[in-house]
Amino acid sequence: MRRLAVVHHQHPAWVQALREAEPRLEVRGWHPREAPDDAWLLEAEGLFVWKLPPGLVARMPRLAWIQNSGAGVDHLVGHPEIPPGIPITRADGQFGLWMARYVCAHLLQEALRLEECRAAQEERRWASKLVPEDLTGQVALVHGFGRIGRQIGRALRELGLEVHGFVRTPRGDAEFPLHGAGDLGAWLGRGRVLVLCAPLTSGTRGFVNASLLEHGHDRLTLVSVGRGEQVVVPDLLAALDRGTLGRAVLDVFPREPLEPESPLWAHPKVVVTPHHSGPSTPRALVLDIQENLRRFAQGQPVLNPVDRALGY
């Protein structure tokens, strides 16, 4: 039986889901702060992990596969302790639907003027002038168009928006126009909403900065669900204050939890949520990696390892 070590702050739930998904594996789990059983780890060939504790990989001489417990692998791809030949796989299948709901919920809250309706209700005021905004034909710009971005794009299209995807390498697509990420600035002026859901790489770190945001306008809403490090926070605040950005809905931050003294908390045009747009549920995530669990149990190479040079 091949061994899969689970090192995760919620290891009992993951161990149970992984054992159920692939009974041919021997699965054991530890909290990242707990000392694992070194003798058992010596023979383990697989590792299921979120934040990699320092020194762990060195205790696993037979390690042949790392499965990330989420979509973003930015914390793993450049990790100096992981030898180059070890395949790293990610799991993003469950997040698209959650994140699509998140993006649509925040956009609809604005368009339907729900906060103003609630305020009017509290004053027992019949606010007949609170006309909802028509989103039909308005432009949604989705930066990052893998499985997650596409699902967000589909949901926005169902709401009536015209969706454009922005990707590292522009390509033809049967469903949506896809542009190079470098063209995003030229599109910002037309955008009603800009969704950030690309992986964090050297190319996306800090790319939402003053020079991009100067192309925006005061009715543009930015929704960030990928990685906080893609947004330069002082530049974002300056854009909101200057009116080249209308509102920012932020689920991810350069440092998490967001520090109490951050100006983002109190800014009237910022919505802060606690990195909850794509919750990981063991059952759904394990379904997404079922085939690789099967292959690993049978000693076959896993499918779709991330490209560590590209960073995703």
Binding site for ligand OXD (CB under 6 A): 70-72, 278
Nearer to ligand OXD, 135 or 258 (CB): 258
Shortest reach from residue 278's CB to ligand OXD, in Å: 5
In terms of Cβ atoms closer than 10 Å to its own Cβ (0-12, 13-18, 19+), residue 131 is exposed
∠ CA 297-299-300, rounded to 5°: 105
Nearer to ligand OXD, 10 or 162 (CB): 10
CB of 275 to ligand OXD, least distance (A): 6
For residue 180, the surrounding DSSP H or E stretch is strand 178-180
Nearer to ligand OXD, 72 or 165 (CB): 72
Question: Please, what is the minimum distance in Å from the beta carbon of residue 110 to ligand OXD?
Answer: 24
Nearer to ligand OXD, 101 or 215 (CB): 101
210 beta partners = none
Q: Which residue is nearest to ligand OXD (CB)?
A: 70
Cα-based angle 12, 77, 309 (whole degrees, multiple of 5): 150
Residue closer to ligand OXD, measured from CB, 63 or 71: 71
Short-list 152, 234, 251, 132, CA closest to 193:
152
Q: To the nearest whole angstrom, how small is the minimum distance from the Cβ of residue 108 to ligand OXD?
A: 23
* Residues 232/237/243/246 CA torsion (nearest 10 deg): 90
Shortest CB 113 distance to ligand OXD, Å: 31
